[in-house]
Amino acid sequence: MRRYLVAGNWKLNLGPGAGRDLASAVGERLRGRTLHGDVLVCPPFVTIPAVATVAKGDPVMLGAQTCSAHENGAYTGEVAADMLKEAGVQYVIVGHSERRQYHRETDDEFRAKIDRVHAHGLKAIFCFGELLDERQSGRAEEVVRAQLTGVLPRLEGPNAYNLVLAYEPVWAIGTGETATPEIAQQVHAFSRAQVAEILGADVAANMRILYGGSCKPGNARELIGLPDVDGGLIGGASLKAEDFVGIVDGAEAAVG
């Protein structure tokens, strides 16, 4: 049985003060509840310590939005996986489309980052997904396959517990447009089949594949209820406690 994961990606929002407020509002709403899955928030680096303090004891885990591909050294502006671990982080997002687009990050960097994350006992959330014109020209599966085969076969020690995938069709991110359940299920099943080919059937059966792209309380239950969708990576709707917890409620309803 795959436990769902509802992960909030705060992106470039919320400094330590506002982040602490949001994390405690989420924590308050979830406190004392027995959840059938995992809840994660991924604040900006500087907000991580503040969230770590308030989230202690609540069913809210802590993640980061990226990390360095390097272990340490002369890499100005970077933050290493072991530093994140020391700060209380358990998950690191790698390969988000905004990193691909605005920072020109490549498969080689994704592979190196995921290996660093794994070397320190953390879990990686590896994002992939096609652009609008790639879908419109019928190349969505080809793109997804290339993104998965460009990284997964070269990882040092991936398994179903230290790696989570997130299918995020770029045309659905921050646009209010959501993949239809048909599209989401189709790409998720296709992705799981790719994982089976690359890492084996056992790993594929146990690996969580999240959906991301305008996921909100109103569509979470339907999306997360799909057979191959194991949770959500949430951008905009993770910035309001009510909406984010509404998505957790949707996930609970989907598995319950």
- Residues at the interface with ligand PGA (CB under 6 A): 9, 168, 173-174, 212-215, 233-237
Name the H helices within 74-200: 81-86, 97-102, 107-119, 132-136, 140-149, 181-199
> Which DSSP string do the residues of 157-177 spell out, in sequence order?
S--TTTEEEEE--GGGTTSS-
Q: How far is the CB of 234 from ligand PGA (least distance, A)?
A: 5
**Judging by DSSP bridges, how do beta strands 163-167 and 91-94 pair with one another?**
unpaired
**E strands within 33-100?**
37-42, 61-64, 91-94
Count CB-CB contacts under 10 A for residue 77: 5
- State how far the Cα of 138 lies from the Cα of 132, in Å rounded to an integer: 10
Which residue lies nearer to ligand PGA by CB, 27 or 213? 213
Smaller CB separation from ligand PGA, 121 or 174: 174
Between CA 39 and CA 219 the distance in angstroms is 17
Which of 6, 54 has the CB closer to ligand PGA? 6
Q: Directed axis angle between helix 140-149 and helix 181-199, to 10°? A: 30
- Shortest Å, Cβ 201 to ligand PGA: 28
Rounded to whole angstroms, the Cα distance separating 84 from 75 reads 16
CB of 140 to ligand PGA, least distance (A): 17
For residues 164 and 126, give the distance between their C-alpha atoms in angstroms, rounded to a whole number.
6
Question: Minimum Å distance from CB 72 to ligand PGA?
Answer: 28
CB-nearer residue toward ligand PGA: 51 or 173: 173
Query: Residue 7: phi, psi to the nearest 5?
Result: -120, 125
Active site residues: 96, 168
Minimum CB distance to ligand PGA, residue 31 (Å): 25
Question: Which is closer to ligand PGA, CB of 165 or CB of 215?
Answer: 215
